[in-house]
Amino acid sequence: MYITLSELADRPGPEELSQAATPRRFRAVDADLLDALLRGNPVSDWTSEEVEIGTQALDVIVSAVNDAQAYIDGFLQQRGYLPLQQRYGIVTGWARAIARYLLHKDRLSGEQNDPIVRDYRDAVKFLQLTADGKFSLGQDDPVATPSNGAPQVTTSGRTFSLDSLKDF
């Protein structure tokens, strides 16, 4: 998993997730309840009905995270990154941006100044650059070719040598 539910509880937070993930037929899940569900904490302070609605909201969040991961995998597969051997912070950020976008897909807003849409588009742009080999996942990128910064020179060999010029 590129992003954990606990990381989503930290950012964007349970308030936003509650408003975006609660099924429409219900009032938004209590943010504290959703926070507890996201972090795997006890939920005995809430009624079973509240917990059931919270669990449905959690299912929506998990579905968005899974869809975001599949979307990212589609790009990373093009460069041979999969399976990733470690977690990369940049991939976590992309997963967060895409999952948020998927959770807010029915929101009415002007796309030109919406931070959720902006973050989503940035993530997709960098995923495409990564798939094209123009962007690296970071220092430990398994596919990136290491370079010490010095230019590489390749030649066809010497045309003139001491042996070929000894008669001149």
Give yes or no for a contact between 57 and 34, defined as CB atoms under 8 angstroms apart: yes
- Residue that the structure tokens 């976590």 belong to: 92
Residue 31 confidence (pLDDT):
98
Residue 146 confidence (pLDDT):
55
Segment 132-155, tens digit of pLDDT: 989 988 877 767 655 555 666 666
Average pLDDT of span 52-64: 98
How long, in residues, is the chain? 168
Residue 149 confidence (pLDDT):
59
What average pLDDT does the structure give for the chain? Answer: 89
CA gap 145, 148 in Å, rounded: 10
Of 27, 54, 28, whose CA–CA distance to 40 is shortest? Answer: 54
Segment 100-131, tens digit of pLDDT: 999 998 877 777 788 999 999 999 999 999 99
Residue ranges of the domains in the chain?
Answer: 5-163
**DSSP output for the chain:** --S-HHHHHHTT-HHHHHHHHS-TTSPPPPHHHHHHHHHT---TTS-HHHHHHHHHHHHHHHHHHHHHHHHHHHHHHTTT-PSPSS--HHHHHHHHHHHHHHHTTT----GGG-HHHHHHHHHHHHHHHHHTTSS-S-TT-SSSPP--SPPP---S--S--HHHHTT-
